[in-house]
Amino acid sequence: MVILTLNCGSSSAKYQVYDWTNKDVLAVGVVERIGLEYSTIEHKATGKEEYNAKFSSPTHKEAIELIIKMLIDKEYGVIEDLSQIGAVGHRVLHGGEIFVKSALVDDEVIKELKELIPLGPLHMPANIMGIEAARKVMPNVPHAIVMDTAWHQTMPEEAYMYAVPYSWYTDFNVRRYGFHGTSHLYCAKRAAVLLGKENKDTNVIICHIGNGASVCAVKNGVCIDTSMGLTPLEGLVMGSRSGDLDPAILPFIMNKTGMTPTEMDTALNKKSGLVGICGKSDRRDVQAAALEGDEKAQIAIQMECHRIKKYIGSYAALLGRVDAVVFTAGVGEMGDHIRKGSMVGLDNLGIKLDVEKNDKCHCRNGEFDISADDSPSRIFVIPTDEELVITEDAYALMEGTYDIHTNFHYSFEDASYVNKARARGLVENLKKQPSLKSILVTPPTK
């Protein structure tokens, strides 16, 4: 039996096929440019040649139909027929206060998701379209939704409420929700394993740094605060999002320029952050420009690191004791300059980076410790695995064994857990970069 995970964006559909019996990834891929003049698919099946093609995909339905076709293709496929798909897990941006944990999909759930569209107008319609399209293509398979916001539902009221008229909360659901929940869940539980501690005894700060970025404070194994808010716009300096700013800037600029609310929303989400400062969002491009003397790129990097460091410091104050700081996601896992800029100077908090270890750490197939030997708090780089969280939630929902994460046990919480695909990749990484072995971290033996 296999579990299919789908992550549908406004013009894309990412997917993964997981062999539940052998606990291994069979295929990953993405369909992009849905709804445009032509769409593309990139399909990678383990042990097979990569497949790339252009095709017509006016809606998500055609995209998902092609994904299914690829999965059963004689040359590039990984299953014989659809009967081998036991469940489909869907990533959903926003669960509001309705969905505090993952759930099986039925018509009523779809109706409730549509009611949440105002909380996530840029992402929710695409998420819902993907679910509806997949249900049409695979009507006899259980479908599960896994919300980005669910992990953060343990935040106390003083953390999730905003100091605005209380009626905004009661009438319009304005509050902090937080995002990247599946990533924060995975990394929090993996950090506990690497520390040799129980989740309930673990305090960590997780920095999920990608094009979108957020920080999460985890106390006694649950989220108590996070940097993103009602939407994914709040918090860190991101690829194209502003993050925190004085809200008075919005009416000031709108009055000066005549910008509409929609235009301002676009500017803050798509024309700000690193793009707004230096014209580039990919950290590799920003770093290359900075090394060539581009002053705007240099200040953009300094701004991003400054904001991350501020959040780490404030969350250290909330936690009292920090067992570990975790970096994850594309930039967190590969951007040594961002990690260094964010961590150097935190010695007084008991968080001491080993710069030499950090400089070695460029690998997405292993878990690494880049802290100084005498650092009271560890600094881990942990590759996230949101797809595995979705896969395990979908399977458990199908079997009737699922529960909220504090009452549920994931496979990756075991010290013996191995991601087989990453283990294969790590062997190749170590051949090219043997020094990685010195910073690899494994769970302590009990």
End-to-end CA distance of the chain: 34
Cα–Cα distances (Å) from 77 to 18, 33, 43, 46, 122, in that order, read 13, 22, 9, 10, 32
Tokens of 363: 């690998």
State yes or no: is 148 an active-site residue.
yes
Q: How many CB atoms lie within 10 A of CB 305?
A: 20
Decide if 350 contacts 376 (C-beta within 8 A): yes
Query: Backbone dihedral region of 47: left (phi > 0), alpha (psi from -120 to 50 degrees) or beta?
Result: left
Tokens of 86: 């036991």
Cα–Cα distances (Å) from 8 to 91, 96, 146, 173, in that order, read 7, 19, 12, 25
Query: Backbone dihedral region of 23: left (phi > 0), alpha (psi from -120 to 50 degrees) or beta?
Result: left
**Beta strand 204-209 pairing with 324-328:** parallel
Cα–Cα distances (Å) from 303 to 10, 142, 309, 338, 379, in that order, read 29, 45, 10, 10, 21
409 vs 189: CA distance, rounded Å: 10
DSSP one-letter code for 445? P
Which is catalytic among the residues 24, 106, 107, 148? 148
344 vs 309: CA distance, rounded Å: 9
Cα–Cα distances (Å) from 438 to 10, 262, 315, 353, 370, in that order, read 42, 50, 29, 15, 10
The closest of 345, 341, 346 to 305, measured between CA atoms, is: 341
241 vs 239: CA distance, rounded Å: 6
Decide if 425 contacts 365 (C-beta within 8 A): yes
Cα–Cα distances (Å) from 352 to 3, 48, 116, 210, 427, in that order, read 41, 43, 42, 23, 29
Residues catalogued as catalytic: 148
